[in-house]
Each structure stands twice: as C-alpha cells, then as structure tokens.
Amino acid sequence: MQPLTPALDDLLELLEALDRGLRAIEAGERAAPAEELLLQRSDLAELYDLVDALIAGIRSIDAGYRRYRRRFARLPAGCLSTGPDGVILEANRAAGALLGLAPDRLQGAPLQAHLHPGSLPAFLSAIDALARGEAVPAREYLLARPDGSTLPAAVAAAVSRDETVEYLWTLLDASGQKKVEDALQKSEERYRAIVESQAELIYRQLPDGTITFANDAYCRSIGIPPGDLTGRRYAPAVPADDQARIQQSLRSLTPAHPASTVEHRVVMPDGRIRWQQWTHTAFFDEDGAVVEYQSVGRDTSDARMAEEALLLANRKLSLLSDVTRHDILNRLNALTGYLDLSRERTADPELQEYYRKEEDAVRDIRRYMAFTGEYRDVGMASPAWQEVTRIVRDAAAGLDTGDVAIEAGGAGLEVYADPLIVRVFANLIDNSLRHGGGVTWIRVYPEESDQGVTIVYEDDGTGIPHAEKGRLFERGFGRQTGFGLFLAREILSITGLSLRETGEPGKGVRFEIDVPPGFYRFSGRGRAP
C-alpha cells in the first residue's frame, strides 16, 4: 500500500489553481478566452460548488487516511503487509520492534529474510495457503534479528483483495508464553520424578478404564512395563464380591466430595491374593462429568496378617482372663460366706470392725473384676463403620429411659470406631438418667468443620460442677464404679476419636466427641474416609 498524501496534495493544488482562475475571470481581473465566454454565470456557480465539494471530499479522505496511518503505526501488535512474493510493502512500529529494524527499513525486503531457517517451511506453507485464498491461523515462528538473536512469535496471516492482492501479517511476542510453557514442562518433569520415586502405587485412568499414567511401583506390582500399560485399558483381577464395593466407592464421588477410600483383595499375576487400600480421586469438568480418576494405593496384606495374629492373641488372653476371673469370683464368694459366719460367731467390736474392712476389700475387688471384664473387650474386635443414629438407638434400648425424649440427628453419618462405641453412648445416657437431676431430653447431633466432625451429646439436666470437671475421666473417679467415662475415652481413642465435656454447670452436660477427617463419612453424600 503506497502513501496517498503526495498525490492528494498535487490534486488539491491543481483544483485550487483552477478555482482561483475562474474567480479571477468572474471578477474581471483578467480576460477570458473566447471559449470561456460561452459559459454562463449559472454554470460557473455550479462548477464552483462542485469544486468546493470535491476539495472537501478529498480533504476528508486525506484526514481519514492520516488517522489510519497513525493508528496503524501505534497498534500494539506487529502488523505488516507483503505482496504474494513475500516482499514487505508496509510495517508498523511494533513489527519493526519485533524484527529489530525501523519500519521504513523493512519495506522492500522479503519477509523470509527475517525468519530463522527452521521457520521457513512453515512460512512457505503459509504463502501457499494465502495464494489459495485461505486465512492462516497463528503458528509459532522464530524471528531472526539483525543482532543475531532470535525471538519466538505467534504469526497469523490473511488475504486482502482490493485493486491489488496483499497478504496481511500479524506478529505477537511469544517469548513470555514460551517461558511459562518451559516452566510448566519443568514442573511436570519434577512432578513425574517425585511420583515415580514413591513407594505407593499410583495410576490415572479415563472413565472408560484407559490408563493415562502409571508409576514404576504400580507397574512392577502387576508385572507390566510402563510403556506397555499407558494408553490401554487395564483392570486388575478382583474377587467378584469385592468389585461391588469398588464400583460403589467410585459412584459416590462428586465435585463436592471427590475422594473415597476402599480396601479390597487383588489377585496378583502369580495367583496370590493380596489386600490393597486405594484412595480414588475424581476430576470433573465444568458440567460435573468425570474426566479422569487418580488412584493411590498401598499393600495392606502384612498389616492385616499382623492384625489377625493380634486378634487371635487377644482372644487367647481373653479366654485366660475369663477362666481366671471365674476362679477369683468363686473364691470371693467363698470368702464372703466365711466372713458372714465369722461375724455371726463373735460380738467383739474390734473383730467386727476387721470383718467390715474385709468385706469392703471384697467389694473393691469385685468392682475391679467388673472393670477388667469390660476393659478386656476393648480393642478385641476390628474397628468398623457404624451409623451414629443406630448406635444411639441401640444404647438407649437397654436402658429404662422413662419419659426422657432421646433425639439422634445426623442421619447417614458413619464413624470408624471400635464396636464398643455403643457402650460410650450407653454410659452417657445412663449417667444422664441417674445423675442428671430431672433430665427431660437428650440430644445427639453432628457439627461439621474443616477439622472434621464433632458429635455433640447434650441434656437439660443440672450439669457437672466445675470442681469435678478436671477429674471426670480419671480411672476410679465417679459415683458408681468410677470406670464409665474412663472406659469411654479408651474405646474412642482406638481410632483417634477424643472425648471432652464443655457443658455449663446448671444448664446440662455437653460432651463432644471429635472425629478427625478420614474417620467419618456421610453415606448419603458420597463422603468417604
């Protein structure tokens, strides 16, 4: 595109000279040629108007062109035009800055002379596409600058067909984007190195089961080289009765709760059956559809074997304890009988006092035997998922609650705890009924926070005096055996649950059971440990 201003200036000068001549003739300042005398005044007036309009139009075109030139020069993107031969016709300042030359020095030079040799095939392909009338989408070119440096740029092109055919090119600096891409690549490489070095089994898969990534530990465990696993569908051999739990765990995942943990058996390539624990995390698109799963697992077979061995040992100890307790209680019964006979055969006050102290000792021994009978069951059974509302109902079922209303909220909340957790709530309810001072209602409900879930137990009784709060969970402290709250804390601690009392004296008790993340779930909301 050639500048139009000089041509416009010449035309304006010619028209203005013609206008001056006609006006001089009209004013009689100079004689008109004979042929000019034939013109009538009205014709001259019309001609003046036409010339004035033409001058105004030309000036408007010239002003518009000048505005275009200023805006073209100031565009932040590099813009230039070439002929079909690739020779630069015009370039703005941004294009000159990218190519390392002033715009006027770029004119007349072939654009390909400013490209790195590695970008020439893409440029020639673009020229062919433009010749066919096709627009060329942005591609990365490497610009060659006069100082010997190179600069990555995103280059797009289109065809302009007016009086002549021109190719219009747009250039954008891509060096910043390149740095970001390089940083992302390095970050991904570091991530892969970290993942590959993990002992945990890690893999990613699409919803259809196609493996997109698997670390070395996982590939070794199944006996398949990494290169043979990626890009193909693969599912480990899992016993049929475990498959349903896996599918249920995956179906429970939602954008709000995208992770779940499940433990199941796996048939290894050599035929051995191993236990594995997997945490599955789902990734969702904007519409809430699953696009990929990431699974992190570990072998739990040894831990399960140790657990089973410990349970067997505990059962043996429990049996021994039962036999021993039975024998001791029989001896205590005999001792009590002898003490009764001894008291009947003497009236000596001093001896009677000794007999009373001996009977107190027997009662203490019976209390401790009762405690050991309850305590021996703690930790005997494996922890399990238990629904809180059912636990509360079962705890209340064995007690005479009378007219006391018991409300259990948080339907669907399950906690991972020792099966004896039912005794925890039975003890709390029994204490409210016996010592609460006119309790009319008991409430159990969950409070959820970032730290986990707190199961709150409240009643409307007299509460616990401040003086007793510090010793409330001590062994032996209490109005009955003194072991109820101590045992409750022990039962809960097996799976990391804790118990405290935060009620205000005179306004009822408030016990709080803190359940950390991973040890609770909401079965109706897809929450998993």
Going by pLDDT thresholds of 50, 70 and 90, the confidence category of residue 483 is: low
C-alpha torsion 135→139→145→148, nearest 10:
-150
- Phi, psi dihedrals of residue 175, rounded to the nearest 5°: -65, -40
Whether the pLDDT of residue 484 is over 50: the answer is yes
User: What percent of the chain has pLDDT above 90?
Assistant: 12
Whether the pLDDT of residue 310 is over 60: the answer is yes
CA triplet 165, 170, 176: central angle to 5 degrees?
Answer: 165
On average, the pLDDT of the chain sits at 78
Can you give the pLDDT at residue 488? Answer: 84
Whether the pLDDT of residue 307 is over 80: the answer is no
Can you give the pLDDT at residue 440? Answer: 94
- Cβ(299)–Cβ(275) under 8 Å? yes
Can you give the pLDDT at residue 4? Answer: 45
Q: Residue 362, Cα to own-chain centre: how many angstroms? A: 61
What CA–CA distance (Å, rounded) separates 494 from 517?
Answer: 15
Contacts of 352 (CB under 8 A, 6+ apart): 343, 346
Choose between 529 and 417: higher pLDDT: 417
This model's pTM is above 0.75: no
Interval 131-167: pLDDT, tens: 888 888 888 888 888 888 888 888 888 888 777 888 8
| Surface-to-core class of residue 284, CB atoms within 10 Å of its CB (0-12 exposed, 13-18 middle, 19+ buried) | middle
In this structure, the strands spanning 405-408 and 441-449 are parallel
Of 141-150, 305-314, 337-346, minimum mean pLDDT range:
305-314
**Mean pLDDT (whole number) for 469-498:** 73
If one counts every other C-beta atom within 10 angstroms of the C-beta of residue 380, the result is 15
Buried b / exposed e along 52-61 (16+ C-beta atoms within 10 A):
eeeeeeeeee
What CA–CA distance (Å, rounded) separates 16 from 449?
Answer: 86
Interval 219-262: pLDDT, tens: 888 888 877 888 888 888 888 888 888 888 888 899 888 888 88
Return the beta strands (E) in 179-257 as ranges: 201-205, 211-214
- Greatest mean pLDDT range, 260-264, 374-378, 472-476: 260-264
Going by pLDDT thresholds of 50, 70 and 90, the confidence category of residue 390 is: very high
**Mean pLDDT (whole number) for 168-175:** 83
